[in-house]
């Protein structure tokens, strides 16, 4: 019995040694290695596996990642243009600040010049008084009066002395006040100048960001074959139509008829206020003009440039940017929306269009596109504001 056990053990040992000695086999350890001591360098990752031509590595979800689908490209281009729109809003806001602060700096500079002129005039008056006293041999007026023997002249002189003393006192007070004003205005001018520099820096930074995002989007689109670019445009239209249809089917807004798809006029402007009707009329007249970031007419527009100019033409100035329009204008529930109201889109309020009725907006979409009609529900709605509420 013991002999048989010994023989079996010897046979197993011999087989194991034979496997270890084989040159054609490589042992692979599947157990996790022991943790490295604290402070020791991280283990070097193994090199990536090279797959045969035509084979793609599986993604974590189990689907093959391979090359991007056209839908992935469409979503990436859309994201780039949305980021460019956000940067455009930052640019427009900085541009407004630059204009405002430039005017304030100019006004302050004018005030400083005016104050300095008044100070110079006051100093000249003080100098004239000092020279007059010098011409009178340096004697103060009251000493000269004591030397006169005429009582009437004495009384008249005392009155003039009091008037002169008051005038001198007022002169000194005014000079002191003007000098204090000069210091205050100089400090304000310096502060406004620093704010102007900061606004210009923000404007330049936003400008670079806009160009970067738009350039990346155009480059990505240009890398596609002509047939794929046509398919991409079709995917854009299909995605917008799906979103619009879902929005209309939700009953979010009542329609006056069957209109509601992008491109048909429907009952444009029906139910608008008097000012709203004028704003719609202006915006509709811009259809076909190109989108240009920072554009506020008359030949090109960005989204908020169109809406702000339309309401300005209606006699109601509103903020320049879509984010400020969302922040400052009165909000209304979407179910109470009427033509002329502004629909704000995306979570960062980076896009705006004007509702014209029957589920449609007029808007300036993005670079490479023109002012057009579109489905109001074709993008993600953040909310609605009413300029003339």
| 346 is known as an active-site residue | no
Evaluate the CA torsion angle 220, 224, 227, 231 in order and state its sign.
Answer: negative
303 is catalytic: yes
Which is catalytic among the residues 6, 15, 303, 346?
A: 303
Q: What phi-psi label fits residue 70: left (phi over 0), alpha (psi between -120 and 50 degrees) or beta? A: alpha
Alpha-carbon span 311 to 355, nearest angstrom: 13
d(CA 93, CA 321): 6
> Of the listed 6, 15, 192, 363, which one is catalytic?
363
346, 89 in Cβ contact below 8 A?
Answer: no
Contact 98, 192 (CB under 8 A): no
Q: Using alpha carbons only, what angle is made at residue 224 by residues 222 and 230, rounded to the nearest 5 degrees?
A: 100
Of residues 166, 142, 137, the one with CA closest to residue 154: 142
Going by C-alpha positions, the residue among 295, 320, 302 that lies closest to residue 94 is: 320
Catalytic residue, from 6, 192, 346, 351: name it: 351
Give catalytic residues, as residue numbers: 303, 351, 363
């Amino acid at each position: 019995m013991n002999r048989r056990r010994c023989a079996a053990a010897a046979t197993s040992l011999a087989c194991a040694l034979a496997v270890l000695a084989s040159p054609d086999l490589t042992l692979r350890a599947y157990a996790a290695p022991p943790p490295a001591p604290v402070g020791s360098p991280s283990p070097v990752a193994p090199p990536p596996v090279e797959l045969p031509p035509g084979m793609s590595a599986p993604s974590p979800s189990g689907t093959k990642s391979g090359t991007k689908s056209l839908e992935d490209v469409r979503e990436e281009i859309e994201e780039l243009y949305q980021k460019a729109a956000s940067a455009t809003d930052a640019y427009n806001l900085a541009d407004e600040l630059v204009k405002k602060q430039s005017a304030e700096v100019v006004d302050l500079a004018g005030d400083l010049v005016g104050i300095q002129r008044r100070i110079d005039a006051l100093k000249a008056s003080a100098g004239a008084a000092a020279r007059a006293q010098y011409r009178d041999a340096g004697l103060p007026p009251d000493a000269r009066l004591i030397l006169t023997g005429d009582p009437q002249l004495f009384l008249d002189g005392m009155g003039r002395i009091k008037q002169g003393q008051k005038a001198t006192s007022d002169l000194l007070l005014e000079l002191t006040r003007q000098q204090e004003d000069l210091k205050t205005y100089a400090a304000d001018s310096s502060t406004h100048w620093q704010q102007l520099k900061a606004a210009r820096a923000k404007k330049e930074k936003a400008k670079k960001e806009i160009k970067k995002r738009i350039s990346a989007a155009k480059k990505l689109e240009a890398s596609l074959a002509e047939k794929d670019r046509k398919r991409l445009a079709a995917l854009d239209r299909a995605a917008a139509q799906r979103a619009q249809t879902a929005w209309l089917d939700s009953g979010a807004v009542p329609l006056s008829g069957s209109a509601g798809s992008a491109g048909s006029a429907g009952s444009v402007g029906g139910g608008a206020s008097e000012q709203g009707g004028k704003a719609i009329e202006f915006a509709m007249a811009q259809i076909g003009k190109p989108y240009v970031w920072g554009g506020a007419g008359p030949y090109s527009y960005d989204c908020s440039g169109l809406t702000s100019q339309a309401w300005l033409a209606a006699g109601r100035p509103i903020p320049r940017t879509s984010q400020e329009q969302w922040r400052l204008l009165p909000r209304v529930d979407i179910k109470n929306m009427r033509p002329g109201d502004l629909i704000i889109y995306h979570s960062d309020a980076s896009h705006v269009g004007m509702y014209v009725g029957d589920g449609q907006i007029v808007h300036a979409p993005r670079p490479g596109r023109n002012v057009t009609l579109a489905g109001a529900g074709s993008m993600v709605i953040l909310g609605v504001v009413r300029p003339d509420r």
